[in-house]
Structure 1
Amino acid sequence: MAAPRFSESYINELKSRIRISDVVGRKVKLTKKGKEWVGLSPFTAEKTPSFYVNDQKQFFKCFSSGKFGDVISFLQETERLGFSEAIERLAGEAGMDLPQDTAQDRAERSRRGRLLDVCEAACAYFEDRLRGPEGSAARAYLDGRGLKPESWGKYRLGFAPDGWRHLQEFLKGKGAREEDMLAAGLIIRPDNGKEPYDRFRGRLMFPIEDTTGKVIAFGGRALEKDAKPKYLNSPETELFHKGHQLYRYKRAREAAAMANREGLIVCEGYMDVIALCEAGFEYAVAPLGTALTEDQLGLIWKVGGEPILCFDGDEAGVRAAHKAVDRAMPHLEPGRSLFFAMLPDGLDPDDLIRERGKGAMKEVLEKASPLVELLWQRELIAHPLDTPERQAGFEQRLDQATGQIVHDGVKKAYGRELHQRLRNHMFQLRRGGGAGGRPGAAPGRAATQPLQPNVNARGLRILTRMIDSPALLESGLERLAIARFPDPAVSSLKDAVFDLIESGEEVDRTGLTSHLRHLGKDDAIQLLRTQPTGSPLDPASPEGQDWLSALERFCAVDELSQDEERLGRNAAGVSIENSRVSLKARLKTEIRDLTRGDDQDIGSESHRSGLRDALNAFDEIVKRKMGR
């Protein structure tokens, strides 16, 4: 299936030059009604108008037939034109030249088409496995969440069997190329040259679609209680950029149009979106494992100017809400803002709906607070207001926040609102004689003493290097998930990293410190503070590759116990126990010298040479044990 030769930017430019009401008005007699045009449906023989056109949002919606779309799909529906024909017709009206179709363009479309095909085939495979014998645990999980088989199909839920090459063998049988499976993020090729293996194993699968409804990626939820990471998304690919897409966006946009809503509901996870949809709130979306990006906000605002961001009421949810405030501030305009619904008692939407019903969810959404309220409360509790200097600092923070707004009118309105609140609050403080600010907050900060824990220094340094390099962390995520740190403080730090990832937050030292403080893990906080901050690394750079290799070697000893048993079972004449002891002792000896060196060694030629020697030695042992 080849993708159309018109880029998304070309199509968006075309639609911006064409007023949809002009095109529709040639076939439908339209009457202005508020912000929209209304008329009799061109698709059904109705007597009462139920067909609406919105120029600002560039779509039509027909309540009598259920049809919804843009100016291109309107021409396709009413004149039976193909997609390309409709665009060519509109381009002529708009005075736009058609893009040239070069050999390179055709090759890129062909490759994109293959990747879309392999993603669609994988989605169908996962759906089938969910209903097969191996999907029993996933079915039990869904049943516990109140989701029946008809809902599985609605959301195209699936299951990835717990095997290393089940999916790729299926796709090869369908004629898919290994290079396309790799490019689509469905399989992983190890750095050590071994055979590729399936990225998703033993997980409940959620397909991720682009804005046109085509499957481009997947999210997988582990079914084992303590599995890390709990959620695993596809990597960045030619099709999928997680900061540019939203889960279930196309369906939510259509549902919002049919419900005549002025905004989507944005929550934090796949199951939250599904729970909201099942409760009747079908205009719900979620980001894909990250905090909201500017691109995602742009998608959300295209649907309506007053979306509701729905966050858990715990500390992580509040932090995520505050990050959304900061991200949105520069882009606020008249008719374009955010509202926030903070859920009670640490519940998420799925929990709230199951425990208290959809009426409780509706009440929370109706009480959503405007962005200005969240901004005010954040700055109000940030520091005590018990001295003139701190009060001045409070006012300065409000001014700095307001200064981010680009639109002059909105900036002035925020300034007036916040300064009025400030005057009222200071008046109440003087009248009541209180200090204000955080309840029970101490004026000063306790000095912290660096810890000198007895830990594996190399393992800790590798972990903090990943924390300081988001791209490196993403590349090494699967390896880090299985890494074991015997020191409890280091283990807590690793668990906090995955807690932030699973809650969709960015992993950085500030967020980790806040989360660890909430958990009462002061020892892990102190441990993090003892480590120097490194500059972010590109995983494709030589130094980045060396750190990933260091992580690989760090994990090797713990992983080996599983591989040894498989080797022992297959090695003729050699007992499992002898194979285990021999392999483990030799590999530990080879790696130990490398892991004792100074951190500065990583990236050096001697370090790389040592890693190569250790790997070669291990390969020789394996070949000998396998009788090759």
Structure 2
Amino acid sequence: MSAPIRIPDGFVEELKARIRPSDVIGRKVKLKKQGKEWVGLSPFTNEKSPSFYVNDQKRIFKDFSSGIGGDVISFVMETERLSFMEAVEKLADEAGMQLPKATAADEETYDRRKRLYECCEAACAFYEDRLRAAEGTEARAYLEGRGLGAGAWARHRLGYAPDDWRTTIEHLKSKGFSDREILESGLSVQKEGGGDPYDRFRGRVIFPITDVRGQVIAFGGRGMAPDAKPKYLNSNDTELFHKGRVLYRYKDARTAFGDTDEGGLIVTEGYMDAIALAEAGIGHAVAPLGTALTEDQLALLWRAGPEPVLCFDGDAAGLRAAYRSIERALPFLEPGRSLFFCLLSGGMDPDDLIRQSGPEAMKQALAGAVPLVEVLWQRERDAEPIDTPERQAGLEARLMQAAAHIKNPAVKAAYERDLKARMNEHLWQLRRSRRERTFSGGGAPPKKGAKQTAAAPKTRGLGLIIRAIDNPHLIDFGFETLSMSVFRDEDVAILRDVIISWPQAGKGVDREAIRDHLEERGNTRAAELLKNYPEIPKIEPDGPEEREWLIALEQYVARDDSSPYGGGSGDDVTASPENWRRLHHEVAERKARAARLNEAAEQADQD
């Protein structure tokens, strides 16, 4: 029910004085008396030694493991994800205190909403009763056919709306509710031209919808006939209920979530999926009410946990729902606040999977949920072919356009880096596959398993690779050429592969980190080559040395039709066309000029 916009400070202080914090907190935390305080394990972290303290005299709590502390109101806000007003109202109900009403209009609104809550609750009880009556035979058979017995009916307060035009209305009127109250509760319908109202829900299985406090505010009705239209029917928007601001099972899911180590609530597409998960022991599942997730619903999810999992069918419709959710969520991503996706295979929904393969199969599917960035990348990657430079540029533009919707600058920058790294890695894999197909037509590529000995006369290309390691901007500058280059020494090729894929791991490119990585993977010779190579002078971005490095690297580009110089294969530079001779001459000229500059510098030092 609604609370006034502002509650006097005196009321809040009296409320806190009437409630002993250890009583309220003790319902969620197992407390032991220790001197003047109560001690227990933190409800906010997974600690093994108690560091959570409650002091009834000071009316405060303090959790040293998480740093969270405050009074009993803030504890309820934190653990139940309630707003300040919601927490005050909940505790006032427990303390037997009536919330103050600022004006006559506020009092009238408060009383009217209270009656609407009572009307919805009376209807819920009536529907529950009808499910168990003789007229609920078909509904009971339907629910049992979906694997839900009497225990589940009670846990989820499932019911049945009689297949009659005014049975529900007449029942509620017998309980003292007026036609207007029944209509404003969303339980009846009246035609625009007038006439007697009639029941909104008729001949349907009923799912009560509750608010964040667990009070019934609306209903969903499911038709039992295969051709029922609509299959699902929700209450219309009322003073209590707005379908874009509510999640089915939110209160129960949030309570269950408090007993898990998960990162967030699980979002399913329908009522039955959320119930099936709950009955399978996965109680922190909710469902939107037949529409794509709204901003308000995302806010509810993030109030409960930082990383909700959206569990959709793995068919085309499920993918579309996932993509819509991405668009809605991108602007609101922040550090520690995102979404994960679990897309089930075979077009199954959670209810199907649980009934077919059991709860463990569902838990394994949820454990394999992927982050939002992965689904975003797949969406743009698969939007169209990327077999030309123009289409590749289009892919990059789409990825950056998606990242641009993120308001938080740190998260936006992280997404841009991650998406670029995924794109570069994917394009590299495509080029490598193309090169392998080219080699298969004539001439074999260097064999990856043919380990060369340390006595090889020269590890050609090593210096160029290490220059890129010591000057990471070269990797972006020459990424395509690096990707297309072929190095006959396997360990030089390994070093190249590492620096191309390294940015995707989110780590800085430096010798020590790469050397440790190589040693961990057993590439000891590659690690030694990197360790023993002399330090490289710094190469400035956009300078002449940067271009010279790229020109030198181009001699290792694999020979295929895509090379503007007719290709090359590292050591094999025979049969060069005119363009290759020109390139070779340019490289030699630049090297000679660099040698002359070095000689002049040494002479100046001697003088």
Deviation at 1:76, TM superposition (A): 10
Distance 2:106 2:208 in 1: 27
Q: What CA deviation, in whole Å up to 9, does each residue of 1:17-58 have, x standing for no partner?
A: x9xxx9779953578898588437899xxxxx9999884998
Match among 9, 28, 38 for residue 38 of structure 2: 28
Distance 1:350 1:32 in 2: 34
User: Could you say what the CA RMSD is over the residues aligned between the two structures, in angstroms?
Assistant: 3.6
Match of 2:394 in 1: 393
Distance 1:400 1:10 in 2: 48
Match of 1:104 in 2: 105
Kindly indicate whether the alpha-carbon contact (under 8 Å) linking 1:129 and 1:158 is maintained by their aligned counterparts in 2: yes
Q: What CA deviation, in whole Å up to 9, does each residue of 1:428-469 have, x standing for no partner?
A: 2222239xxxxxxxxxxxxxxxxxxxxxxxxxxxxxxxxxxx
Match of 2:354 in 1: 353
Instruction: Trace 1:95-244 onto structure 2 (pairs within 5 A).
Output: 101-244=102-245
Query: What is the count of residue pairs matched by the alignment?
Result: 403
| Pair 1:341–1:32, CA change in 2 (3 A) | closer
Deviation at 1:191, TM superposition (A): 2.2
Distance 2:43 2:174 in 1: 56
Kindly indicate whether the alpha-carbon contact (under 8 Å) linking 2:42 and 2:52 is maintained by their aligned counterparts in 1: no
Kindly indicate whether the alpha-carbon contact (under 8 Å) linking 2:45 and 2:66 is maintained by their aligned counterparts in 1: no
Match of 2:340 in 1: 339
Instruction: Trace 1:346-495 onto structure 2 (pairs within 5 A).
Output: 346-433=347-434
Q: Does 1:266 align with 2:279?
A: no
| Pair 1:297–1:8, CA change in 2 (3 A) | farther
List runs of 5+ in structure 1 lacking aligned partners: 44-48, 62-66, 88-98, 435-628
Match of 1:605 in 2: none
Deviation at 1:192, TM superposition (A): 3.0
Distance 2:322 2:239 in 1: 30
SS in 1 for 2:429: helix
Farther off after superposition, 203-212 or 380-389? 380-389
Q: What CA deviation, in whole Å up to 9, does each residue of 1:588-626 have, x standing for no partner?
A: xxxxxxxxxxxxxxxxxxxxxxxxxxxxxxxxxxxxxxx
Match of 1:527 in 2: none
Write the letter of the residue equivalent to 2:297.
Answer: Q
Match of 1:317 in 2: 318
Distance 1:199 1:423 in 2: 56
Match among 4, 7, 12 for residue 6 of structure 1: 4
Kindly indicate whether the alpha-carbon contact (under 8 Å) linking 1:35 and 1:54 is maintained by their aligned counterparts in 2: no
Kindly indicate whether the alpha-carbon contact (under 8 Å) linking 1:255 and 1:283 is maintained by their aligned counterparts in 2: yes
SS in 2 for 1:259: coil
Kindly indicate whether the alpha-carbon contact (under 8 Å) linking 1:38 and 1:53 is maintained by their aligned counterparts in 2: no
Kindly indicate whether the alpha-carbon contact (under 8 Å) linking 2:164 and 2:203 is maintained by their aligned counterparts in 1: yes
Identity of matched residues, %: 50
Deviation at 1:101, TM superposition (A): 1.1
| Pair 1:279–1:338, CA change in 2 (3 A) | same
Kindly indicate whether the alpha-carbon contact (under 8 Å) linking 2:158 and 2:205 is maintained by their aligned counterparts in 1: yes
Instruction: Trace 1:446-595 onto structure 2 (pairs within 5 A).
Output: none
Match of 2:556 in 1: none
Q: What CA deviation, in whole Å up to 9, does each residue of 1:92-111 have, x standing for no partner?
A: xxxxxxx8610000001111
TM-score w.r.t. length of structure 2: 0.61
| Pair 1:115–1:265, CA change in 2 (3 A) | same
Q: What CA deviation, in whole Å up to 9, does each residue of 1:275-305 have, x standing for no partner?
A: 0000000000000111000100000001110
Kindly indicate whether the alpha-carbon contact (under 8 Å) linking 2:120 and 2:218 is maintained by their aligned counterparts in 1: yes
Kindly indicate whether the alpha-carbon contact (under 8 Å) linking 1:41 and 1:51 is maintained by their aligned counterparts in 2: no
Q: Does 1:82 align with 2:95?
A: yes
Structure possessing the higher radius of gyration over alpha carbons? 2
Distance 1:53 1:120 in 2: 39
Write the letter of the residue equivalent to 1:116.
Answer: Y
List runs of 5+ in structure 2 lacking aligned partners: 26-35, 57-61, 436-607
Distance 1:394 1:217 in 2: 44
Deviation at 1:383, TM superposition (A): 0.8
SS in 1 for 2:219: strand
Match of 2:52 in 1: 39
| Pair 1:212–1:54, CA change in 2 (3 A) | farther
Distance 1:228 1:78 in 2: 43
Q: What CA deviation, in whole Å up to 9, does each residue of 1:295-330 have, x standing for no partner?
A: 000000011101110000111111000000111101
Kindly indicate whether the alpha-carbon contact (under 8 Å) linking 2:21 and 2:54 is maintained by their aligned counterparts in 1: no
Distance 2:274 2:52 in 1: 33
| Pair 1:206–1:404, CA change in 2 (3 A) | same
Distance 1:129 1:368 in 2: 40
Write the letter of the residue equivalent to 1:263.
Answer: G
Deviation at 1:195, TM superposition (A): 1.6
Q: What CA deviation, in whole Å up to 9, does each residue of 1:384-431 have, x standing for no partner?
A: 112221111110000000000111111111111111111111222222
Distance 1:10 1:273 in 2: 40
SS in 2 for 1:28: strand
| Pair 1:60–1:280, CA change in 2 (3 A) | farther
